[in-house]
Amino acid sequence: MYELVELKGNDVFTNSKVIAEGTGNQHHAVREIIKKYRSDIEEFGTLRISNEESSGGRPMELFYLNEEQATFVITLLRNSKTVVKFKKELVRQFYAMRRFLLEKQSKLWNDTRLANKENRLKETDVIKMLVDYAKEQGSTHSDKLYLTYTKLAKSVIGGNRDSVSVTDLNNLTLVESIILQTIRIDMSMEMPYKEIYKDCKNRIERFADIAYLTA
């Protein structure tokens, strides 16, 4: 959902790697621009720097930028259709995340999140029963079913349950209810545990189609 921006505390950031990939530039080149204009960038806030492990296993310097900082950095890049397209999407995602931050402070969001937590506990109890059921059928990796069904449910919202809207939380609660009810019914019919997953997946895909979601 928010591929270009992320929450850190109560603010929204993108990073130098995202900008490089989105604009078709080398990460090293974007980092050099940020270093060169650091004093100008920090007029819009303190620049956050992190050393994270790269795909090659070596430390990678990563710069986190707020909306104003990111907008300024992008103006320093050579304009192209790719850069313009990326900038528009980045603006959209910054705006959407800021709207979410306001929504998250509301009583409605917190009540919805609480209801989702309670429903998730019910689903987890049923999955625990499924784990034992799968073991009886010879599964040696049944403990992974918790993660398997969690991923299946989250596929419809495309994000972490603490960083999605009231609408997405409600959809997630519905999906997790579909999962727990399907598991209960299918176990009562002595269906093989692998077929139970397929049944859950098919039902969720049908729900997603009806609700115009992305499972």
Q: What pLDDT was estimated at residue 213?
A: 60
Give how far Cα 212 sits from Cα of 62, 67, 157, 175, Å: 36, 30, 11, 13
Q: What pLDDT was estimated at residue 135?
A: 97
H helix or E strand, kind and range, residue 1: none
H helix or E strand, kind and range, residue 172: helix 166-188
Residue 71 neighbours by CB under 8 Å, 6+ apart: 87, 91
Q: What pLDDT was estimated at residue 12?
A: 93
Q: By CB neighbour count within 10 A (0-12 exposed, 13-18 middle, 19+ buried), where does 118 fall? A: exposed
Q: What pLDDT was estimated at residue 157?
A: 82
Give how far Cα 118 sits from Cα of 13, 46, 145, 213, Å: 31, 39, 19, 23
**Alpha carbons 150 and 204: distance in angstroms, whole number:** 13
- pLDDT, tens digit only, all 215 positions of the chain: 568 999 887 889 999 999 999 999 999 999 999 999 999 999 999 999 998 876 667 788 999 999 999 999 999 998 899 999 999 999 999 998 999 889 999 999 999 999 999 999 999 999 999 999 999 999 999 999 999 999 999 988 877 888 888 999 999 999 999 999 999 999 999 999 999 999 999 999 998 888 766 55
- pTM of the predicted model, to two decimals? 0.71
Q: What pLDDT was estimated at residue 52?
A: 80
**Alpha carbons 187 and 196: distance in angstroms, whole number:** 8
Local structure of 65: helix, strand or coil: strand
Q: What pLDDT was estimated at residue 210?
A: 82
